[in-house]
């Protein structure tokens, strides 16, 4: 048997059919130098379409989309946190107007981001459709015949055998089909091809990107998300007016809300008492009773963190927890104007140090009978460290609750019709109650204690504590499609990276001395050691079925060895 290496460089005019044998190992469109079209609308439109559907432009648009998402992550977005946007406007007088003009406070709904998104979508479709038809055509066809000179291919081996050429070709055809090659006989050679999963994966990756883009767009247009704080014993119905805050996609309508309601029966939270994880929640769950529809049967369930209640297309998540001190307020005549009402306060830290406002808007009169409104700036500590300690809770559970109040009277500003937060006290038209030293009147209260306001203005009693839970109700259409697209994109990308498209040819012809000459060669889409290794394995098996003929000088030929051409990996 003889070993043969491929020539270093094909000469012009030699082996014109080698280009056909090595072509179409990829369905990637050929990149041609752009030529300016003839003047005219159709010519320019055709040129623009070719540029838009080129792989270079698709990659450029994908890069621009990634860069466009950066300000959406770094700059507060009006659709996510409107308060943060307003705070940014107040702190940046120069940047805020510029950001407004550029649409950086609502990046994902801005004109420029939508333009990039749509162009990328069109570009991907323009790339995939012709590429898919080209690949289908390759699947329906057969591998091309062998080049005239197999020695010019990257991997090559040859030997002489006493077997007939027909027997060698039949054995080679059976062997290649057994190894899952698409193979057939063309003239004096067997042509085979393998690795179609590479192109399948490539196309699947790009199709998955389109699915993800469609799913993302659909979800953004029809999604909704709302938050609701619910005290123990209170309920919630899924209507727009029930939400504390609500945001939705542009095509979402109020009629798209799923009809359901639920009631918070009890919130249970336990925490690590000692160790490095002291204060970390061990149990964090809400016991609720819910019903679907106007007359649905009530069912009881437990909502935990990352274990939402799913009703039709909506999911109810447990997202927060806090405390609501129960207070009783009496006016200057001793009449109750707020009777054991729980007022929710917002937590400030992991130990649920909370703050908020208690507002008495109606029914209050001072000692002289004058109508006024009362406001209390409230701080609540579920575990107070004791006299002399800082106003910070020591533990998130209710161990030693303490309520601190700062007292004000006057006009709360709620009658002006301007919306205001229930957790903040507008002091612009309020006056401080003064103590005997002329300072702001304030007091720390334990459960059961009362704060008596100066000058017979009334009193506030701390009656107890009620817990509350915060829920987020979301509906994200097409999220399943987005997940399926992302998984398909990962598998498609893996196939396109790790599967190699390659071709193998086996030629068997009678030599001048009447002995059969067997030639085997392989060609891959890219240089890889796998093609020579695979060809060597196939040649070894075929050599056993068509062993080498004895030469004049040697009693037996050696085993076949594949010699890669210069430039191929060894």
* 198 Cβ contact partners less than 8 Å away, ≥ 6 residues apart: 495, 496, 499, 500, 501, 525
Structure tokens at 399: 């161990």
Rounded to whole angstroms, the Cα distance separating 492 from 202 reads: 6
pLDDT for 569 equals: 40
Tell me what pLDDT residue 12 has: 45
CA 104 to chain centre: 21
pLDDT digits (tens, 9 = 90+) for 237-267: 999 999 988 888 878 888 889 999 999 999 9
Q: Determine the pLDDT at residue 264.
A: 96
Per the structure block, which two tokens stand in for 98?
Answer: 């510029």
Residue 13: its pLDDT value, please? 46
pLDDT at 25: 63
pLDDT in tens, the chain (570 residues): 444 444 444 444 444 455 556 665 655 555 555 555 455 788 888 888 888 888 788 889 889 988 988 988 888 888 777 778 888 888 888 888 999 888 898 888 888 988 998 898 888 888 888 888 888 887 888 888 999 899 999 899 999 999 999 999 999 999 999 999 999 999 999 999 998 888 888 889 889 988 988 898 888 888 889 999 999 999 999 999 999 888 888 788 888 899 999 999 999 999 999 888 898 899 999 999 999 987 889 999 999 998 999 998 899 999 999 999 999 999 988 899 999 999 999 999 999 999 999 999 888 988 888 899 999 999 999 999 888 788 899 999 999 999 999 999 999 888 776 777 888 888 888 999 998 888 899 999 999 999 999 988 999 999 999 999 999 999 988 888 999 999 999 999 898 888 888 999 999 999 888 899 999 999 987 666 788 999 999 999 999 999 988 764 433 444 445 555 444 443
Distance CA 317, CA 301 (A): 13
Rounded to whole angstroms, the Cα distance separating 522 from 565 reads 11
Q: What's the confidence (pLDDT) of residue 437?
A: 85
Determine the Cα–Cα distance for residues 69 and 104; give it in Å rounded to an integer: 10
Q: What is the pLDDT of residue 384?
A: 94
Q: Any bridge partners for residue 309, and if so which?
A: 316
- Whether 229 and 422 have beta carbons less than 8 Å apart is answered as no
pLDDT digits (tens, 9 = 90+) for 373-421: 999 999 999 999 888 788 899 999 999 999 999 999 999 888 776 777 8
Burial of 176 (0-12, 13-18, 19+ CB in 10 A): buried
> Going by DSSP bridges, is the β-strand pair 245-248/235-237 parallel, antiparallel, or unpaired?
unpaired
Give the pLDDT confidence score for residue 565 in this predicted structure. 47
The answer for residues whose C-beta is within 8 angstroms of residue 146's C-beta and 6 or more apart is 21, 186, 187, 189, 191, 505, 507, 521
Angle at 434 between CA 433 and CA 439, to 5 degrees: 130
Q: What is the pLDDT, as a whole number, of residue 301?
A: 96
């Amino acid at each position: 048997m003889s070993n043969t290496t491929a020539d270093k460089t094909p000469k012009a005019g030699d082996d014109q059919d080698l280009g056909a044998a090595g072509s179409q190992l990829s369905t990637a469109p050929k990149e041609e130098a752009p030529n300016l079209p003839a003047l005219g609308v159709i010519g320019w439109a055709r040129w623009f379409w070719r540029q838009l559907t080129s792989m270079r432009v698709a990659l450029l648009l994908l890069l621009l989309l990634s860069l466009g998402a950066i300000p959406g992550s770094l700059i507060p977005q009006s659709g996510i946190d409107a308060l943060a946007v307003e705070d940014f406007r107040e702190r940046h007088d120069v940047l805020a107007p510029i950001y407004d003009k550029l649409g950086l406070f609502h990046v994902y709904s801005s004109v420029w981001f939508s333009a990039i998104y749509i162009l990328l979508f069109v570009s991907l479709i323009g790339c995939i459709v012709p590429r898919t038809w080209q690949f289908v055509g390759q699947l329906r066809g057969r591998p091309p015949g062998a080049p005239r000179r197999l020695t010019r291919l990257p991997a090559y081996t040859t030997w002489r055998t006493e077997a007939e050429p027909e027997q060698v070709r039949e054995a080679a055809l059976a062997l290649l089909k057994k190894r899952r090659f698409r193979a057939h006989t063309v003239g004096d050679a067997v042509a085979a091809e393998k690795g179609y999963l590479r192109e399948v994966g490539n196309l699947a990756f790009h199709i998955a990107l389109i699915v993800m883009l469609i799913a993302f767009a659909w979800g953004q247009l029809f999604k909704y998300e709302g938050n609701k704080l619910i005290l123990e014993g209170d309920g919630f119905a899924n209507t727009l007016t029930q939400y504390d805050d609500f945001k939705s996609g542009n095509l979402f309508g109020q009629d798209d809300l799923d009809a359901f309601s639920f009631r918070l029966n009890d919130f249970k939270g336990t925490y690590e008492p000692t160790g490095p994880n002291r204060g970390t929640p061990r149990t964090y769950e809400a016991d609720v009773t819910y019903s679907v529809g106007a007359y649905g049967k009530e069912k009881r369930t437990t909502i935990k963190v990352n274990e939402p209640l799913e009703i039709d297309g909506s999911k109810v998540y447990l997202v927060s927890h806090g405390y609501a001190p129960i207070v009783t307020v009496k006016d200057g005549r001793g009449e109750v104007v707020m009777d054991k009402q729980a007022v929710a306060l917002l937590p400030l830290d992991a130990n649920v140090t909370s703050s908020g406002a208690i507002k008495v808007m109606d029914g209050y009169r001072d000692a002289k009978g004058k109508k006024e409104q009362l406001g209390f700036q409230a701080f609540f500590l579920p575990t107070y460290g004791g006299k002399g300690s800082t106003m910070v809770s020591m533990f998130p559970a209710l161990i030693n609750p303490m309520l601190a109040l700062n007292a004000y009277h006057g006009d709360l500003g709620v009658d002006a019709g301007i919306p205001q937060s229930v957790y903040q006290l507008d002091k612009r038209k309020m006056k401080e109650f003064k103590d005997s030293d002329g300072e702001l009147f304030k007091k720390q209260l334990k459960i059961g204690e009362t704060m008596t306001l100066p000058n017979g203005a009334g009193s506030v009693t701390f009656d107890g504590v009620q817990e509350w839970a915060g829920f987020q109700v979301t509906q994200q259409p097409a999220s399943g499609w987005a997940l399926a697209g992302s998984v398909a994109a990962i598998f498609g990308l893996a196939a396109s990276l790790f599967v190699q498209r390659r071709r193998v040819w086996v030629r068997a012809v009678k030599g001048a001395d009447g002995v059969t000459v067997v030639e085997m060669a392989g060609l891959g889409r890219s240089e890889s050691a796998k093609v020579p290794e695979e060809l060597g394995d196939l040649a070894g098996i075929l050599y056993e079925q068509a062993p080498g003929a004895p030469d004049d000088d040697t009693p037996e030929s050696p085993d076949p060895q594949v010699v890669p051409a210069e430039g191929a990996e060894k």
